[in-house]
Copies of this chain bind each other. A is one copy, B any other.
Amino acid sequence: MTIPPLSPRETARRRLLEALRREGPMARVEIGQHLGMSPASVSDLTASLLDEGILATEEAGDQAAGLIRGRPKTRLFFAGTLGSVIGVWTGFNRIELRLVDSAGRNRASLHVERRLRNLGAEELMDVLAETIAAFAQENGASDVKAIGLACQGYVDTRDGIVAWSPVLGARDLPLASGLGQRLGKPVLMENDASAMAFAITQRNADLRSGRTACLMIGDGVGLGFLIQGELYRGARFGGSEFGHVRLRRSGPQCRCGGRGCIEAYLADYALHRDAQLIDHRPAPTLLLPGEEAMGAIVEQARAGDAALLNLFHAAGEVLGDAVGILIQTLEPDHIVICGPGTRAMDLLRPSFEAALESQTIPELRALATIHVVESSMDLLTEGVVMQSLRELDLDLARLKAA
């Protein structure tokens, strides 16, 4: 996105819109205080944003009046009438969709069970395009302006190319342009852990200052790393594939083809697979188990199943090692452990803490605060939608015409 550096004006507009989407309706004075801008500047900026129909003003009397002296605030908010955006997450065998209006308000969401792995590139794009189009139609969304797509793997966010993915089994797949052609809309792409990290940091102002490393445990394990609230971008504008760091030289099989990756211990598919192996069940697959299946495993372990407890013990140890590497490599101010995998945090914690302590220098460990944020895949589609809306903000008025 945004290849040419933004002008000061555009930067200011973005900051303003970002704050407004995050914090909800605000009066101009409040915006000024929030962003450290002078009232004059806010007035100027909002005037053009109102002009373009991106923002709208509250009707007089909407607020609890009568008690405060002085001229009442007129709060500004996103118009929400500039069309809608669809956020999509693609997993190994599941697609999650979410429809929001341009103000970021949720209008609909949907889970679809569909195995995506092993589809050819064209077939994959056809399936996704159909699923998205059907979802839009079912919900009467004729004003979709853009699609935001999050998936596992290394995503070139500038050109919308999946450079590599353990899930789609694709290499250098130009998913954004392929889907864009089929749907006739712009498609923005993001790594899934980055999308969730974005959503989480948007909700917590503390996490937007300094450096925040969000380790998402779910279908796979991913890392979203933010510096001063901005997503870190590696070479080719992708994020991190921290989940595929090999921690144990001959550990369990990972979906990336390697062995002993962090993900191969912690991800839902890994825990589910290993739990089935314990029970001598037949077909250990790499399919993503549902929340019920995972819940059952956790419950069984909590009930005292020794073999399962061992699994979680090993996983917790890997989590501790992983967080240790993050601490000593990046010295983040905040570490967030998030995603559906946090459902078993109680089981992971003892070995997690022991491993973390055994391998980090106390003085350095003390510099990072560790947060556990229980979050589901819903937060992920929220993240990708928020991120897409943010990228689109500057184009909203232009897209409105189209």
Contacts and interface: CB of A to CB of B under 8 A. Distances in A.
A286 interface: no
Contact of A329 (B163, B211, B240, B331): B240
B223 A331 contact: no
Contacts of A326: 329
Nearest to A246: B359
A171 B363 CA distance: 8
B246 A331 contact: no
B235 A333 contact: yes
A331 B238 contact: yes
Interface residues of A, number: 40
A235 B210 contact: yes
Contacts of A277: none
Nearest to A154: B364
Nearest to A369: B235
A366 to B, nearest CB: 9
A367 B241 contact: no
Contact of A234 (B171, B246, B367): B367
A224 interface: no
A324 interface: yes
A172 B367 CA distance: 12
Interface string A242-276: 10111000000000111000000000000000000
A232 B234 CA distance: 13
A209 B210 CA distance: 22
Interface string A100-137: 00000000000000000000000000000000000000
User: Which of A210, A325, A361, A368 has most chain B Cβ within 10 Å?
Assistant: A361
Contacts of A245: 324-325, 328-329, 359
A172 B240 CA distance: 32
Contact of A241 (B172, B238, B258, B331): B331
Contacts of A235: 210-211, 331-333, 367-368
A307 interface: no
A154 B329 contact: no
Contacts of A359: 245-246, 258
Nearest to A223: B329
A239 to B, nearest CB: 8
Contacts of A244: 328, 361
A293 interface: no
A163 B211 CA distance: 18
Contacts of A367: 163, 234-236
B363 A246 contact: no
A330 B232 CA distance: 9
A386 to B, nearest CB: 23
A244 to B, nearest CB: 6
Contact of A154 (B232, B331, B368): B331
A234 B324 contact: no
A240 B223 CA distance: 18
Nearest to A238: B331
B240 A330 contact: yes
21 contacts: A154-B331, A163-B363, A164-B361, A164-B364, A171-B363, A172-B363, A210-B235, A211-B234, A223-B329, A235-B331, A235-B332, A236-B331, A239-B331, A240-B328, A241-B328, A241-B331, A241-B364, A244-B361, A245-B328, A257-B361, A258-B359
Interface of A: 154, 163-164, 171-172, 210-211, 223, 232, 234-236, 238-242, 244-246, 256-258, 321, 324-326, 328-333, 358-359, 361, 363-364, 367-368
Would you list the 6 A-B pairs with minimal beta carbon distance, nearest first?
A234-B331, A164-B363, A235-B367, A246-B359, A235-B333, A241-B328
Given A234-B332, A240-B328, 6 more contacts: A164-B363, A234-B333, A235-B332, A240-B331, A244-B361, A258-B359
